[in-house]
Amino acid sequence: MHFFASFTGSMTAFLIISVLIILCAIMLLSFRKVIYMALAIGGVFIGCAAVYILLGASFIGIAQVLIYAGAITILIMFAIMLTNHEAQEPPTKWSVKNIIIALGCALLGVALYLAIRHQTWSAQGTTVNQSSTVSNPVAIGMALFQQYTIPFELVSLLLIVGLVGAVILAQPRKEDEE
């Protein structure tokens, strides 16, 4: 009973948001149509942004909504519309292999839950320099464009390559025309 007595409003909100994120992730993996998968991953991104906001990192939460839930989900949908997908989805078949995989995933989830539950966590948190004249978004921007310039540019290059790949896949093949 001590576990339920320690619930606060933010803990309850965190649990509800976490369950919604997990449900969206399960829907992402179980949907057969790619457009529904893109919408489900948008739900995961929005849920993660809600967790960031709940933890007090409102800038990261808003950036999550703008970058991932907005731009990346739209990019995925754009790539889906450019590629050819079958209108008919194949029927779902439960085989012995699928059942074993589902049981393995459930056992992994239980093992992770037990490992996290029995872990001792330090109460010391990360401190933010409040006396600085530079605000957090400016400090993040400075770090992003000074220390992490190459990874930032590589991510943008990866997105462009994905978009070009979608356009190439959408072009009709020569053997289809003949």
How far is it, in rounded angstroms, from Cα 30 to Cα 153?
33
Burial class for 42, CB neighbours closer than 10 Å (0-12, 13-18, 19+):
buried
Between the two ends of the chain, the Cα-to-Cα distance in Å is: 71
**pTM of the complete model beyond 0.75:** no
Q: Residue 74's pLDDT is what? A: 76
Positions in the chain whose pLDDT score sits under 70: 1-6, 83-92, 121, 123-135, 173-178
Q: Residue 146's pLDDT is what? A: 80
User: Where in the chain are the domains?
Assistant: 2-86+134-177
Instruction: From 42, 38, 40, 60, select the one nearest 51 (Cα to Cα).
Output: 60
Neighbours of 130 (CB within 10 A): 6
Q: Residue 24's pLDDT is what? A: 92
What topology is assigned to 2-86+134-177 in CATH?
A: Four Helix Bundle (Hemerythrin (Met), subunit A) (1.20.120)
Q: Residue 114's pLDDT is what? A: 87
